[in-house]
Amino acid sequence: MHKQQSEKMNKFIAPSLLAADFGNLQRDIEMINKSEADWFHIDVMDGVFVPNISFGMPVIKAIKKHAKKTMDVHLMIVDPDRFIEDFKNVGADILTVHYEACPHLHRTVQAIKALGMKAGVSLNPHTPIAVLEDIITDLDLVLLMSVNPGFGGQSFIENTYKKVEQLKALIEFSSSNALIEVDGGVTDENIEKLSNAGVDAFVAGNFIFKSKNPLKTISNLKKLAIG
């Protein structure tokens, strides 16, 4: 198999630290370090783009001190261009911005890549895949929201499967290397179907951190995703 193709067969589990215990953040980071998870998913909310505020640079810097895996940073903020360099400096490896928050998306994506980070674009549940047609070949990742962004612990929106299929077709048609990531309401009940539809990376917050044995939950999700 072609190398790029076999790399794309990888399935990535990305626990969302939004659901971690912030009073024991180092403990939860170490748990992910020793787990079968692949990425740290880090949700940044500004109280403007989404109706919630999470955390910013000092906390991400503290996470980076202990985290031994890829830092997958999801910006739910307006005008992210102001902070691209700051996110690079605090350790982001993948930086994802929202299509809905970027009037000059092409410029934003180039700015992220120019600093050596992977560039992702996220779509809200109501935003059609077609808006990515003219930028898909510039992207390293597309993050499909399977809940309305702002909060963890919501239930998965079923229309996401259709969007995964449309996105997969667009990626193949345009020979893009973009990975497909899904975020929100991912559990052991939908991860297999998502994976079969073409999802590469799976964000899970509450399902991992509120489970009795997060290490085992991650391992089980990984197994289901690989199939």
Whichever of 140 and 183 has its CB closer to Zn ion, that residue is: 183
Has 183 been annotated as catalytic?
yes
End-to-end Cα separation, the chain, in angstroms = 18
| DSSP symbols for 117-129 | -EEEEEE-TTS-G
Q: Using CB under 6 A, which residues numbered 36 to 55 contact ligand DX5?
A: 41, 43
Binding mask 145-184 for Zn ion (x = CB under 5 A): --------------------------------------x-
Find out whether 67 and 34 touch, Cβ atoms under 8 Å: no
Stated as kind and residue range, the H or E segment containing 225 is helix 214-226
Judged by CB under 6 A, does residue 94 bind ligand DX5?
Answer: no
Taking CB under 6 A as the criterion, the residue among 67, 141, 178, 205 binding ligand DX5 is 205
Rg (CA), the chain: 16
Closest CA to 127 of 141, 107, 112, 148: 148
Judged by CB under 6 A, does residue 11 bind ligand DX5?
Answer: no
* Residues linked to residue 39 through DSSP beta bridges, in sequence order: 70
> CB of residue 75 vs ligand DX5: minimum separation in angstroms?
10
The size of the chain, in residues, is 227
Whichever of 2 and 16 has its CB closer to ligand DX5, that residue is: 16
Largest Cα–Cα separation, the chain? 46
219's contact among Zn ion, ligand DX5, none, with CB below 5 to 8 A by partner kind, is: none
Q: Using CB under 5 A, which residues numbered 186 to 215 contact Zn ion?
A: none
Stated as kind and residue range, the H or E segment containing 59 is helix 57-66
Taking CB under 5 A as the criterion, the residue among 29, 38, 74, 97 binding Zn ion is 74
Positions marked active-site: 43, 183
Binding site for ligand DX5 (CB under 6 A): 16, 18-19, 41, 43, 74, 147, 149-154, 183-186, 203-207
